[in-house]
């Protein structure tokens, strides 16, 4: 007598389409996750912007390295070492950077002249992560935060503008090491509609789930009248041998996700 064979399940067109859809969804989720370079925690209590890292809110946040060489030769840890933490509140991004730099120097006293050739923290921010050319528009900003805590970027006429009213920056030498500084910044976030001619530009209202273009970099000048190194948290692919494209092209920024 012939044994009964179990019935083999047949793969219908409907189930094939279902599996294909599931596969594509998984791929899409994976791609979305891959795009996140930094996550910022929502702050209920704000840190005191005073160049001290003792605020409770900083304690458990992850560090992100500033370790991608954009300009200059390989840099030793004594010459430059940097890392940062990032968080957000209603209209602002909060940064805590720990910078180790052997020589702090501000050769060009005028904040609008050769500001990139003095020691400076450089904050790249694109409020809607749209990318694209931003050198002479405000689709994105590249704020150079100088040692005297002024914020400079290029305006729509191609000339540098003092945007110090867009943020509050304070740094101090670290109590842990004489060559380290703790740098805190609270940065206002503006979108592409920012108008230099207006005094009542509205701040972007931030919310959990929002993605911004972002990178944090450091211009390291030590001895000459030009910076020796430029180091970023995000590597920039070279175009015609040039990696220094962040101040022009927001496509070079990483992606920052705001979390609850």
Q: Which two tokens stand for residue 33?
A: 């996750």
User: What's the rounded Cα separation, in Å, for the pair 143 and 162?
Assistant: 9
The alpha carbon dihedral of 185, 188, 194, 195 has a sign of negative
For Ca ion, the closer of residues 75 and 248 by Cβ is 75
Q: How far is the CB of 218 from Ca ion (least distance, A)?
A: 8
Which residue, 72 or 131, has its beta carbon nearer to Ca ion? 72
Which residues are at the interface with Ca ion (CB under 5 A)? 47-48, 50, 52, 55, 79-80, 101-103, 119, 220, 222
Q: Which is nearer to Ca ion, 103 or 239 (CB)?
A: 103
* Contact present, 171 and 182 (Cβ < 8 Å): yes
Taking the C-alpha atoms of residue 103 and residue 101, their distance in angstroms, rounded to an integer, is 6
Residue (of 24, 20, 21, 51) closest to 186 by Cα position = 51
User: Based on CB atoms, which residue is closest to Ca ion, 24 or 48?
Assistant: 48
Are 12 and 18 in contact by the 8 Å Cβ rule? The answer is no
């Amino acid at each position: 007598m012939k044994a009964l064979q179990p019935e083999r399940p047949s793969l219908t067109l409907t189930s094939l389409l279902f599996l294909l859809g599931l596969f594509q969804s998984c791929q899409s989720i994976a791609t979305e996750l891959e795009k996140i370079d930094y996550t910022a925690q929502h702050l209920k209590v704000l840190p005191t912007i005073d160049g001290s890292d003792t605020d409770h809110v900083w304690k458990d946040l992850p560090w992100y390295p500033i370790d991608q060489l954009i300009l200059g030769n390989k840099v030793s840890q004594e010459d430059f070492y940097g890392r940062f933490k990032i968080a957000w509140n209603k209209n602002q991004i909060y940064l805590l950077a720990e910078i180790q730099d052997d020589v702090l120097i501000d050769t060009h006293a005028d904040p609008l002249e050769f500001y990139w050739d003095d020691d400076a923290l450089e904050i790249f921010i694109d409020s809607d992560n749209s990318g694209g050319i931003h050198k002479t528009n405000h689709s994105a900003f590249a704020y150079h935060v100088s040692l005297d805590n002024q914020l400079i970027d290029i305006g729509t006429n191609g000339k540098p503008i003092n945007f110090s009213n867009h943020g509050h920056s304070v740094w101090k030498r670290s109590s842990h090491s004489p060559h380290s500084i703790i740098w805190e910044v609270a940065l206002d976030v503006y979108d592409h509609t920012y108008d230099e001619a207006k005094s009542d530009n509205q701040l972007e209202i931030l919310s959990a789930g929002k993605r911004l273009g972002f990178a944090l970099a450091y211009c390291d000048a030590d001895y000459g009248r030009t910076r020796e190194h430029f180091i970023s948290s995000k590597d920039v692919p070279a175009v015609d041998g040039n990696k220094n494209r962040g101040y022009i092209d927001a496509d070079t920024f990483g992606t920052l996700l705001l979390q609850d």
